[in-house]
Structure formats: structure tokens, C-alpha cells
């Protein structure tokens, strides 16, 4: 062997030894790792689909001054404008942001990011005080909210009119369906439940010229068939009255909410927002 070849083989052997030592020390090089945080891409360039989030969805009904010992349910469903103002002020001061149910659907379906300090504010039934009392306070804090409308009740005494609902939408509020006549959908036969779920969506879309993607089960009642009908009708999300703020993609048609009771103090409101 010439001395040139001896030197060359020495180089190659040394190089091989160093490579093997480095391999043993570091292990095989990992392929691009899959990132799991929102808005990121996996190693094929596809957006990561988010599967869960801690996000309080607040449930309100009336925003009005109402106390009647003979109407305990009505009293408990009524948060006074003063209390609602305090609650919104607290959220604003603590740096909470409001998002819509459509934002939540996009978070789960396309990996859109959501600020971790986000809350969804919902109002059930479409009472007239949503326009008179809730809207001005929401606008004061630049918050958005979701209003679930019972289409068969629109224009009835105590309920929103079509022009008021249109103004809510124009102000950036999300409008959702709360069925046609607020019946227990889990107890209706399939055809009747379908009419309640489909027709309310069609009516809202025609009257408001909007796409309606959020549904709210009347009285929180649903079964597997109700969920299938809601899905087939083209809704992207549905909310229940189950008490929690842990939301999952799997439960996108069973989203949980936190009830804000009329008797609730600001301290208890803060607790329900913050506690696990």
C-alpha cells in the first residue's frame, strides 16, 4: 500500500469511528417533529386540527331588572343590567376577549388560533331586552355575543323583532337558531324535530341574508338522533346546558356552557370563569 492510501484509509476509519460515536451519543436524527399548538403545520404542511380547548361559554337569558317571588324561574333567568355591566367590565379589565361559535368551529376544523383568554357570550330565546339592554353594554366593551333565536317567537310581545335581530347582526353579533317553537326535540318524532331544526335555519338565513351555523337545543334537551339532524341540517356547532368550560372537537354538537344566574354575585361570576 502506498503511503497515500495508508493516510486515506486512516482518515476514513477515523471519520467512521467519529460518526458511529456521534450516532450512539445522539441517537438517530429525528424527522421533523409534529407540532401540536394551534395554527401550526405538521410535517406534510397540513394545518394541525385542534381537538380540545378550555373556553367558557356563558349562558344568559334575560338582561332586565326583574324579581318576582311567584316566578322563581323567570327571576333566576334574569341578570340585571347593572350586574351584566359589572360582569362585562370584569372580563374587559382582566383582558378577556370574546369569540363566536363559528370561531370555535374554525379552531377545531381548520386549526385557526384562539386567544387562550377567550370567552363566548350566549343569549337564549331572543328576548327583546337583548336589543334594549344587552347590546349597548356589549358595544360599550367592544364585545361580541351569540343570540339564539326561536323563529316562531320573533315579533311576539317580549321578543325581538326581525329588524332588531338584523341590527344585532349588523353590530357584529352572531345569530344562531334555537328552533322554531322551543319544544323538547328529544321527545318529538323525527319529522317534527327535523322541521324545528331545518326551518328555523332556513327562516333566519332568508330573513337576515346570513349563514346560520350555530344551534342551541331548547331546554338543553337532545338525543343522538337530534344531533344527527342538527349535523345534517348544516349547522357546525350546537350548545347544551351541561355545566363545564372544557370543549372538545368530539363534542362540537354537545358544547358545554356556564349558566350565569340572576342571583349571582360578581365574586361567584369571577369564580365560575376562573375555576377549572
The rounded distance, in Å, linking the Cα atoms of 229 and 185 is 10
Count of chain residues binding Zn ion (CB under 5 A): 2
Provide the phi-psi class of 59: left if phi over 0, else alpha when psi is between -120 and 50, else beta.
beta
Residue with cell 351569540: 146
- Residue 193 CB, nearest distance to Zn ion (Å)? 16
Q: What is the DSSP letter of 249?
A: G
Span interacting with Zn ion, options 95-103, 119-127, 158-166, 264-272, rule CB under 5 A = 119-127
Binding status of residue 196 toward Zn ion by CB under 5 A: no
Instruction: Return the closest-CA partner of residue 126 out of 66, 65, 173, 87.
Output: 173
Residue among 102 and 125 whose Cβ is closer to Zn ion: 125
Contacts of Zn ion in 61-80 (CB under 5 A):
none
Shortest separation between residue 112's beta carbon and Zn ion, angstroms: 29
Comparing CB distances to Zn ion, the nearer of 50 and 151 is: 151
Q: How far apart are CA 217 and CA 219, in angstroms?
A: 6
Stretch that binds Zn ion, among 51-59, 116-124, 193-201, 268-276 (CB under 5 A): 116-124
Q: Which of residues 208-247 bind Zn ion (CB under 5 A)?
A: none
Nearest to 147 by CA among 167, 158, 157: 167
Instruction: Pick the closer one to Zn ion by CB: 249 or 259.
Output: 259
> What are the phi and psi torsion angles at 256 (to 5°)?
-100, 155
Determine the distance from the C-alpha atom of residue 214 to the mean position of all C-alpha atoms in its chain, rounded to a whole number. Answer: 9
Question: What nine digits make up the cell of 202?
Answer: 332556513
Residue with the CB atom nearest Zn ion in the bound state: 124
HSE-CB of 5 using CA atoms within 13 angstroms: 2
Closest CB to Zn ion among residues 215, 269:
215
For Zn ion, the closer CB: 125 or 196:
125
User: In the complex with Zn ion, which residue's Cβ is closer, 114 or 193?
Assistant: 193
Site string (121-140) toward Zn ion, x via CB under 5 A: ---xx---------------
State the residues that interact with Zn ion by CB under 5 A.
124-125
Amino acid at each position: 500500500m502506498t503511503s497515500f492510501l495508508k493516510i486515506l484509509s486512516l482518515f476514513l476509519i477515523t471519520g467512521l469511528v467519529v460518526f458511529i460515536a456521534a450516532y450512539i451519543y445522539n441517537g438517530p436524527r429525528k424527522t421533523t417533529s409534529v407540532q401540536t399548538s394551534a395554527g401550526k403545520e405538521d410535517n406534510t404542511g397540513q394545518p394541525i386540527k385542534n381537538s380540545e380547548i378550555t373556553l367558557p361559554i356563558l349562558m344568559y337569558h334575560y338582561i332586565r331588572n326583574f324579581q318576582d317571588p311567584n316566578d322563581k324561574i323567570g327571576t333566576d333567568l334574569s341578570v340585571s343590567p347593572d350586574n351584566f355591566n359589572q360582569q362585562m367590565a370584569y372580563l374587559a379589565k382582566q383582558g378577556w376577549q370574546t369569540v363566536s361559535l363559528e370561531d370555535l368551529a374554525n379552531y377545531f376544523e381548520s386549526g385557526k388560533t384562539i386567544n387562550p383568554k377567550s370567552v363566548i357570550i350566549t343569549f337564549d330565546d331572543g328576548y327583546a331586552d337583548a336589543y334594549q339592554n344587552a347590546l349597548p353594554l356589549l358595544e360599550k366593551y367592544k364585545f361580541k355575543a351569540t343570540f339564539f333565536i326561536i323563529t316562531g317567537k320573533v315579533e311576539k310581545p317580549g321578543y325581538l323583532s326581525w329588524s332588531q335581530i338584523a341590527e344585532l347582526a349588523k353590530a357584529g353579533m352572531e345569530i344562531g337558531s334555537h328552533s322554531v317553537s322551543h319544544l323538547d326535540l328529544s321527545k318529538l318524532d323525527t319529522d317534527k324535530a327535523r322541521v324545528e331544526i331545518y326551518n328555523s335555519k332556513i327562516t333566519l338565513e332568508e330573513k337576515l341574508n346570513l349563514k346560520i351555523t350555530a344551534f342551541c337545543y331548547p331546554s338543553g334537551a337532545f338525543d343522538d338522533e337530534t344531533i344527527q339532524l342538527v349535523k345534517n341540517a348544516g349547522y357546525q356547532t350546537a350548545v347544551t346546558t351541561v355545566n363545564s368550560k372544557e370543549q372538545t372537537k368530539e363534542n362540537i354538537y354537545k358544547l358545554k356552557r356556564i349558566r350565569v344566574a340572576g342571583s349571582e354575585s360578581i365574586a361567584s361570576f369571577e369564580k365560575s370563569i376562573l375555576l377549572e
